[in-house]
Amino acid sequence: MKKYYIGFIVLMAITLASLGYALGQAGAAKADKATDQAVEQIGTKLDEYSANHGGSIPQSLDALGVKDAPKTVSYQTMGASKYKICFDYHSASSGFDAGWASLLTGGITGGSQQTTVSPNGSYFDSSVETSHKKGNNCQTVSSSYLNTNPGSYASLQSSAATGASSVCLGDTSGYQVSGSLTVASVDQATSKITFSPDNQYVFDSTGNAVAPIASKNYTATTLFCDQSYNKSTIAAVQPGSTVQIYLDSAADNSVARVDAF
């Protein structure tokens, strides 16, 4: 009888340990999913911010417009145009979903956290979402590339040009507010462009996020540029499209310039 009770206690201990492990893995999987979502959100915003600010970077994720980043994400500036960002994962991934066998193996062998630091890059590497090691996965990005590399967005904006398109390839650093928005509607009768409240990445000249812009008027002096950086008209601005806008100040009612993507 005594052996029976001992066996029962051992079995119950194993069962409880297995249940605790399964619950822990479920929590870890949930945290990793939140980290994946952060990779998607932050990566897009970082590249757009650097492209729209001549290679400069935000001083914090808050300044980038990311207010609810999970604790598994850390961001550190390393100068005016260089940053280091890390994502902490509970489980490793190699481009496929880990099954129970992989989770078990990770639980047994994951006693030490591994850190991977990528060499300096010019853009944020979003592949970390599908290919990462357990623990901290860090990368350093030197966005100054966007100021010097021919063909980059920032380079195109500051390049010298001739002919009718030169006005669209001029320097845009003089504007106080700029950013990308999705066009909701265009009312030519009232000369008004309405923007979607979603997918707005608008910042002032100091890198602070601007409140969502509902609408702006356009005037005869508003500069419109098409996807080829040629001077265009309001016809370049279509509902559902993404545009880059420039304002002389946050309080301006009229948009100074609109670039179609």
pTM of the model: 0.44
Segments of the chain scoring below 50 in pLDDT: 8, 10, 13, 15-25, 96-119, 145, 147-164
Count Cβ atoms below 10 Å from residue 99 Cβ, excluding itself.
8
Span 178-236, pLDDT tens digits? 888 899 999 999 999 999 998 788 888 877 888 899 999 999 999 998 877 788 999 99
pLDDT at site 198:
85
Distances (CA, A) of 221 to 22, 32, 125, 166, 217: 64, 49, 39, 16, 11
Query: How far apart (Å, rounded) are the C-alpha atoms in residues 90 and 113?
Result: 9
Domains and CATH numbers, the chain: 2-148 (no CATH), 159-260 (2.40.50.320)
Q: What are phi and psi of 172, to 5 degrees?
A: -110, 10
The C-alpha angle 186, 192, 195, rounded to 5 degrees, equals 65
Q: Residue written as tokens 């390839």?
A: 169
